[in-house]
Amino acid sequence: MSRRLQIPVFSSAAEWTAQVPARRFNVPEIPPAQLDALSAAVGRPVSSAAEGVAEIVRQVAVEGDTAVIGLTAALDGARPETLELGRTEWEAGADSLGVEARSAIDAAAARIEAFHALQLPRVLSLGELELRPEPLRRVGIYVPGGRARYPSTVLMNAIPARLAGVGEVVMVTPPDAEGRITPAVLYAARLAGVSRIFKVGGAQAVAALAYGTQTIPAVDKITGPGNTFVVLAKRAVYGIVDIDGLAGPSEILVIADDSANPTQIVADLASQLEHDPVAWAVLLTDSAELAATVASELSADQLANRFSAEVADLRAAAVVVESLDQAVELAADFAPEHLELLVRDPDRLLPSVRCAGMVFVGAESPVPMGDYVAGSNHTLPTGGAARFNSPLGVYDFYRWTSVVRLTPGTAAAVAPVGIELAKIEGLVAHQRSLEVLMERLTAEEAG
């Protein structure tokens, strides 16, 4: 191990906020060696990851499967015989999963489905006006590979889509070196209602979902997290398709007082560093003693140090605040993905909490419960996006259509208002349309 984590302890909120921007979303640049590989893969020099991803998206949009296959071979070293996973291979892989793993996935899926079923919308109506929910026709979910495999991501993305009534749920995920997909992911996909699976990842997978290829169908929305290339690709295709958001490094803020268990806090902070070496793992506390203890124990924690050569120390910190109320205000400004309340009276603080992707109340609700089995969705806004974005849910897989069906009486009553507004705005054709309507209604009433 090259070094140990050095966890700073900030003596005041002001000291920490001076170094940590609240609006902090950014896509990290890739190292030079990776940039060289990207340039080689796209066939021309590129000066940034964003430029390389833009070229990947362009090639896939123009060349379809040919580009997807070539880029996958160049970037991932994989050349699957077919892009789509055959149903026989899918079923065999899912069936090979052990009983204990199946039971765990079944239990998590049941809780996720029960909670998300509460989110089903209904037609909203007021007199002659309606707002009608319509499920998206086809969505694509991205399931990462890389450091780990994520059956939980399959459940969190596919179950809400199925409950919404989406016509087709298409999944893309990078295979392993042998061109296979882990059985846990295949079992979760079958259970959650995925329609088709394609063995491709990275920016080329996102581009294929957005534009469609000879094999991979175009979708209406793309959800699911991914690496730098995936995030940049989702940003590049937004507008061609909808996306759930731009996932940055994982984040956990813990608000704790001296009643909290420091060992649990360390374990919870380390759980998010495991996702990404540049994850945020921050304790906000009114106890200087607790801050010092947690910083010391986290610095020595074996799990937290697994990626210590890469961890950005400032992102793992303990901050001493004047009061728990100040901690809540600080958390609202930071807008974290995950917020834990480990205090004597969390229900006093909870009504004041704003701008958090998910709030975990009490010592029995650590963040990994939400990652796996609580039932809430773990696809959450990061990078401060909790100021304006929400957890993924059934509601994300609908579009809404307004319906206007005015009666002659209502039309006659409100058309003069519209005519006056058209005059104010100088839109003479709008004015004329409503005047024609009024003339017709008057004639019909007279006749």
| Residues annotated catalytic, as ranges | 337-338
353 near 329, Cβ under 8 Å?
no
φ/ψ of 150, rounded to 5, equals -130, 80
Helix axis angle, 202-211 to 49-63, nearest 10° = 40
> What is the token pair recorded at 424?
């104010």
102/151 Cα distance (integer angstroms): 11
Kindly give the residue spans of alpha helices, DSSP state H, lying in 195-305: 202-211, 228-237, 262-273, 288-300
| Residue 212: both structure tokens together | 């469609």
Rounded Cα distance between 66 and 103, Å, is 40
Alpha-carbon Rg for the chain in angstroms? 26
Q: Do residues 160 and 224 make contact, with C-beta atoms less than 8 angstroms apart?
A: no
CA torsion, ordered 322, 325, 326, 329, to nearest 10 deg: 170
Give the pair of three-digit tokens for residue 140.
Answer: 């694509």
- H/E stretch holding 131 reads strand 129-135
The strand pair at 124-126 and 9-10 is best described as: unpaired
Q: Which long-range contacts (CB under 8 A, 24 or more apart) does 426-434 make?
A: none
Concatenating the DSSP letter of every residue in 431-442 gives HHHHHHHHHHHH
Distance CA 100, CA 220 (A): 36
In 3D space, the residue among 142, 140, 158, 143 whose CA is nearest the CA of residue 209 turns out to be 140
